[in-house]
Amino acid sequence: MEIIDTHAHLGPSPTGVGTETSEQEVLEAMDAHGVAVSLVMPQSLQSDERAAHDRVHAFAQANPGRIYGMASISPLWDDTAYFAEARRCVRDLGFKALKLHPGSYNTSPLLPRAEKCFRAAAELGVPLIVHTGAGAPPSLPALVIPRAREFPEATIVLAHAGYAIYCEEALVAAETCPNIVLEPSWCQYYNARRFTRSIGADRMVMGSDHPANLPVELAKWRATGLSEADLAKCLGATARRVFKLD
């Protein structure tokens, strides 16, 4: 059974009290827990987001087929700068997704400045990962619903699926919008099971958020009692399709 971690980070975390994740930590965690592929992005609030993306790209180049990049671009950038970096990351660097962190940038998905994030994902044909849960109210899962309806051609991944406290709201969003996929890191095992039984394993992906949390997330999924076929989709097959991994 192939395991794909769809939510990994590289580099410093400005909001994480000085924490930093190295390339070695990501690879060691993957090796220790049988993860075949990780999709990696910088943390939000980087002082130089272009340089952070270049670091992720170098990591992916050094580990082809095992590490793929994702872009985390501030929604506070103007449209021209945002689209230039999004296109560079996807078309030139081969990144597989874009990220919007509403809490870090105090940017609800409903605000005009967030529209470009969804529009860019639709234009470039890659998923948009939207952080949900911690950092509410901008990070409330339901705020994604109008944008998911506005851009039905875009796949939107709700990172953390509400972060446990708002998991019911994340499920409502996914049930309302068929282009929403749930990634339930930090939720309880029974939330992941309920999500999967409600919207199907074809719309569920696994993410760790941090190397130390990887074994916890895998244990959680294995405690769900899902069938082997559904578990294979949630842990890897759905991610390979959603993120168009070669």
Question: Where are the chain's structural domains?
Answer: 4-242
Question: What are residue 172's phi and psi, to 5 degrees?
Answer: -60, -45
What is residue 15's predicted lDDT score, i.e. its pLDDT? 72
What is residue 136's predicted lDDT score, i.e. its pLDDT? 95
Domain at 4-242, CATH homologous superfamily: Metal-dependent hydrolases (3.20.20.140)
Query: Closest Cα partner for 165 from 191, 128, 183?
Result: 191
Average pLDDT rounded to a whole number, residues 10-27: 86
What is residue 14's predicted lDDT score, i.e. its pLDDT? 82
pLDDT digits (tens, 9 = 90+) for 96-128: 999 999 999 999 999 999 999 999 999 999 999
pTM for the full model? 0.97
